Amino acid sequence: MAKARKPWRKKAMKFYGIEQSPFYMLQRKRDLADLLFTSVRALEGMTDKSVPHYEYWEEEKPDGSMRPLCRPHEGLDKAQSRVAYLIACIKTPDYVHAPVPKKTYVTNAAAHRSSRSFCLMDIESFYPSCREEKVLAFFRHRMKCSLDVAVILARLCCDKGSLPQGSSSSPILSYWAYSEMWDAIFAIAEEAGNIFTLYIDDLTVSGQVVLKNTIWNIQKEIHKHGLAIKVKKTRWILDKPASVTGTIVSTEGLRLPNRQHRKLAVAKSEFSKPGGNRKKKTNVLRGRQAQAAQILNH
């Protein structure tokens, strides 16, 4: 089974409209199993909620709170990775910068280079708040899968009623399950003359002026879909450089944040010291330099 998975991972991705997706109008469980390089019996096992399919743990966040994480077992992980790959091949609107191939946190920030006013928001407990019924509705109504195929896909990609934080399919499904909401937010920002970009659960709205009423309408749209903004982390920035998804945005262009300058300086210092693991130090320095160049040369 593992050998059969290699070719699609190595091939360059081909992008297509939603109606060209192999999931579109998928009607039979056997066809789904073939598409995911598995069997109907294995799919039924992976979607049996009476059996544990994940390892769970917590990691401390910078603010001291704990972030619940999980890791799917090997068979489920492969199936979710296949779903993620196929869904990621569907073309998304230009405002989506993650999780989208060929786009990055830098392209997300670069979209706001001409702006002087910013509002930066993110969604509270994002993946745990992305409900399984939304994923089911995506496969059933947007993809037009049969009910039994849609149910299997939703169960395959969700855990405890929501998208698991640790699954490869969660990022792209978090967009498609709520695409109606994201499109409505884009329309609200566009009508106000603002730029909107989405980087998973990071929302950036910018322009010459960003009105509180615009953000209020966006927040209402988010609440309508059962989600909420992290109010305490919402940032308003006017006439000064803004940190957008880890990149400093100013009217003069993109700059490295201070922490990236420090990491690059440390990498250079370590590289210049004699001894140690030269290969590792070289790789670290090259990685830091490439990361910096991605921002400065954009």
| pLDDT of residue 285 exceeding 80 | no
Question: Which tokens is 107 given?
Answer: 């392209």
What's the CA gap between 145 and 128, in Å, rounded?
24
Q: What tens digit of pLDDT does each residue of 127-159 get?
A: 999 999 999 999 999 999 999 999 999 999 999
Q: Quickly count: other Cβ atoms within 10 Å of residue 266's Cβ.
A: 13
Which of 39-43, 64-68, 116-120 has the least mean pLDDT?
Answer: 64-68
Pick the closest to residue 194 from 207, 212, 213, 203 (CA basis). Answer: 207
Give percent of the chain above pLDDT 90: 70
- SS3 state of residue 177: coil
Q: What per-residue confidence (pLDDT) applies to 38?
A: 96
What's the CA gap between 167 and 147, in Å, rounded?
23
| pLDDT of residue 12 exceeding 60 | no
Question: Which tokens is 258 given?
Answer: 């201070």
Q: What tens digit of pLDDT does each residue of 201-212 get?
A: 999 999 999 999
Q: What per-residue confidence (pLDDT) applies to 272?
A: 79
pLDDT band for 13, please (50, 70, 90 cuts): low
Q: Is the pTM of this model over 0.85?
A: yes
Question: Which tokens is 138 given?
Answer: 């995506």
What sign does the dihedral 183-193-89-228 (CA atoms) show? Answer: negative
Give yes or no for a contact between 85 and 175, defined as CB atoms under 8 angstroms apart.
no
Query: For residue 276, with 0-12 CB atoms within 10 Å meaning exposed, 13-18 middle and 19 or more buried, which class applies?
Result: exposed
| pLDDT of residue 293 exceeding 90 | no
Q: What tens digit of pLDDT does each residue of 154-176 get?
A: 999 999 999 999 999 999 999 99
Which of 48-52, 113-117, 293-297 has the least mean pLDDT?
Answer: 293-297
Residue 38 vs residue 263, higher pLDDT? 38
